[in-house]
Amino acid sequence: MANPQYEGPAYAPHLDIPVYVMMNRAGSVGKTTVLDAFATEAALRGYRGLLFDADLQTDLSYRSGYDGDDVPDGVLTIHDLMLGKAKLEEVIVPARTRIAPGDTDESFQIIEGLDLVRGDIKMKQADGELVQDTLGVFWLQNVIKKQIQTGMYDFIGIDAPASYARLSESLLVAATDVITMMKPMRKELRGARALAREVESLNVDFQDYGVRVKPTWYCVNDAKSESQGKFFTNMQDEAEEVYGDRLLPGIRNSVVVAEAFDAQEPLPIWAPKSEPMKVVREITDKIGFPEK
């Protein structure tokens, strides 16, 4: 189903869907939390999504019960996909939520409509591996272009590492829209501006390869109230002044977010009536996936 709010990837005209990449050059800014939450909420609303766990921490995979730090022998992951040793259909697993103790498949329930390419700690080698081939930066773009058919998904989401090097570039050139995560700090606002410049540079450098990616959305994680400090709220006001309608509702720190990760349940299932979930629903609406 085409989403009129977005332009699909120029390199894959048959796919009229957004390809989001969650990005920031710093860690612990809520990339995985927000991607997991809004993708799950969209799936619960009846949309179909595919998530790529390209973050070195593999938290997106862990939440679904797949351990990227200890991948069983013979199990194919995003690293195999990147190296061309596996096809997309071989590495896709269903996103899941925990329903019982243990590590077997029976301990988890599939989230209908949400697929995942499971992460792998071996992606820490990716920057070095990708520079060995001048066209290696297009590995994910080629996967999406050649191995995803029209109508398979309504959106694609990519969880990126907390760094900016060759792997991050390869994720950006496959994306259509960047969701830039940040905290209410000056260095985060500066980092967001620097990332926007990098995106602009990539569009120029790779325009002949169908690269058309925009820093579409910005989101403040760990948003603060006035009582928590005027400095932080000033930073939030500045972000709103700079980004306007492109600024997503801010997510305040809450113990339920940490509890959901520990329980290996996405936030929409763990705490559907919580205050953070109210914000996630607003984000899902604004991003373009309202209740059907």
Confidence class for position 229, pLDDT limits 50, 70, 90? low
Q: Are strands 108-117 and 92-98 parallel, antiparallel or unpaired?
A: antiparallel
Least confident of 28-32, 208-212, 235-239, 270-274: 28-32
What pLDDT, on a 0 to 100 scale, did the predictor assign at position 50? 98
Residue ranges of E strands in the chain: 19-23, 49-53, 92-98, 108-117, 155-159, 177-182, 214-223, 251-252
Q: How crowded is the C-beta side of 179, counted as CA atoms within 13 Å?
A: 29
pTM, entire model: 0.95
Average pLDDT over residues 4-9: 85
- Cα end-to-end distance, the chain, whole Å: 12
CB-CB contact of 199 with 214 (8 Å): yes
CB-CB contact of 24 with 149 (8 Å): no
d(CA 101, CA 98): 8
Confidence class for position 230, pLDDT limits 50, 70, 90? confident
For residue 256, give every residue at least 6 positions away whose Cβ sits within 8 Å of its Cβ, in sequence order, or none: 267, 270, 271, 274, 276
What pLDDT, on a 0 to 100 scale, did the predictor assign at position 184? 83
Helix (H) or strand (E) holding 248: none
In 3D space, the residue among 219, 284, 216, 215 whose CA is nearest the CA of residue 252 turns out to be 219
Residue 74 has pLDDT above 90, yes or no: yes
Residue 1 has pLDDT above 60, yes or no: no
Least confident of 39-43, 139-143, 225-229: 225-229
Integer angstrom CA distances of residue 210 from 12, 111, 216: 8, 33, 18
d(CA 193, CA 195): 5
